[in-house]
Amino acid sequence: MNILLLSVGTRNKIIQYFKKTVGENGVVVATDMSERAPAGYEADKFYKVPPVTADGYLDVIFDICKKEKITAALTLIDSELSLLAANRDRFAERGVTVIGSSCELCERALDKMKMFRWLSERGYPCAKSYDDINDFYNDLAAGLISFPVFVKPIRGSASVSVAKVEDKETLDLLWAHTDGLMIQEYMNGQEIGADVYVDMITGKVVSIFTKKKLLMRAGETDKAISFKDEKLFELITRFCEESGWLGQVDIDIFEVNGEYRIGEVNPRFGGGYPHAYECGCDHMKLIENNVNGIPNKKNIGAYDDGVYMMKYNEVLVKKIHG
């Protein structure tokens, strides 16, 4: 398997894990719009490419696929997921398997109101959400929701521009000066992260790793502890298979008063995935199997609970030519 990882940024561990998987039988190629993306220097080959939004971006990626004989590709950022999914057939014409879900699902994940409506229509427990401030105030008057609430962009990631709002005056001020916002119920409970792999051949969930988040930074898990709960595994399996997700899926979940509530979904590797890998959930191998036409067997919860992950900083020092 020759795999292309797009927009790698600082995801050094993801590159390292894929290199272990492909070994001497393949190559790991990385791209980023910045030559100062440290993860790129972990790969066998690293290409600096234009921004995802640039004209001709895909042509550059297709040229890399041809040159490096790429057989599979995936991205590590939200804004590129739909682009790859929408062009899945064009990649396939070049012998490249796009690892990930459909364009429709990627768009649903990126649009938090679409996700909320899909979940609520099907009876999944989730946070009440509003894109109409009058609907919120009606529910507030009826006692169906209360302050504090979260105010966030409908389409956003990495917890950028997310505010905890305690009163009407602050909410009105934010709403009047920023477009594309939503109001979301504040869930006062334990935040949980799930790293899930849905087999791309069978559409079945074959691996789940869950952890309780202990500390967050810039929208990513900084410290966490692994745990298991069959009730949670069943909820995640039902949700993923009914939705139709494929490949790697990162799910945020809250436990509030003993009830699990589904939060945001990122159909890609999350920043906390190294916790799962180091505990034995090797999703790189599952991807390799699928690329080679081999369906994976169900192996949910194949890890020890009570294992901590604690992130720390490393430094790459390199003279960059060009």
Instruction: Map out the domains of the chain with their CATH numbers.
Output: 3-98 (3.40.50.20), 128-185 (3.30.1490.20), 188-310 (3.30.470.20)
Q: Residues 266-296: pLDDT tens digits?
A: 999 999 999 999 999 999 999 999 999 999 9
Backbone torsions φ then ψ of 201, nearest 5 degrees: -100, -45
Give the pLDDT band (50/70/90) at residue 162. Answer: confident
CA dihedral 69, 37, 320, 314 (to 10 degrees): -120
Judged against a pLDDT cut of 80, whether residue 321 lies above it is answered with no
Give the pLDDT band (50/70/90) at residue 156. Answer: confident
- CA angle (43, 273, 110) in 5-degree steps: 95
Q: Tokens representing 281?
A: 């959930």
Judged against a pLDDT cut of 70, whether residue 15 lies above it is answered with yes
* 136-150, 210-224, 226-240, 289-303: range with lowest mean pLDDT: 210-224
DSSP 218-238: TTEEEEEEEE--HHHHHHHHH
- The count of other CB atoms within 10 Å of the CB of residue 129 is 22
Q: Residues 105-118: pLDDT tens digits?
A: 999 999 999 999 99
Any residues with CB less than 8 A from the CB of 61 and at least 6 apart, and which? Answer: 4, 6, 31, 49, 73
Share of the chain above pLDDT 70, in %: 98
Give the separation between CA 51 and CA 3, rounded to whole angstroms: 20
Q: Tokens representing 208?
A: 């789940």
Q: Residues 175-197: pLDDT tens digits?
A: 998 899 999 999 999 999 999 99
CA 253, 97, 40, 153 torsion-angle sign: negative
Any residues with CB less than 8 A from the CB of 65 and at least 6 apart, and which? Answer: 4, 73, 91, 94, 96
- CA angle (157, 163, 167) in 5-degree steps: 150
Summary mean pLDDT of the chain: 95
Backbone torsions φ then ψ of 111, nearest 5 degrees: -100, 105
Q: Residues 48-84: pLDDT tens digits?
A: 999 999 999 999 999 999 999 999 999 999 999 999 9
Give me the residue label for tokens 């070049």.
94
Q: Residues 79-97: pLDDT tens digits?
A: 999 999 999 999 999 999 9
Positions of E strands within 186-322: 190-198, 205-217, 220-227, 247-256, 259-266, 308-310
Give the separation between CA 48 and CA 37, rounded to whole angstroms: 9
Judged against a pLDDT cut of 70, whether residue 159 lies above it is answered with no
CA dihedral 260, 264, 268, 271 (to 10 degrees): -80
| Dihedral-angle region of residue 101 (phi above 0 means left; psi in -120 to 50 means alpha; beta otherwise) | beta
Give me the residue label for tokens 């699928």.
290
Judged against a pLDDT cut of 70, whether residue 158 lies above it is answered with no
pLDDT at position 216: 79
DSSP summary character for residue 155? B
- Indicate the pTM of the whole model: 0.95
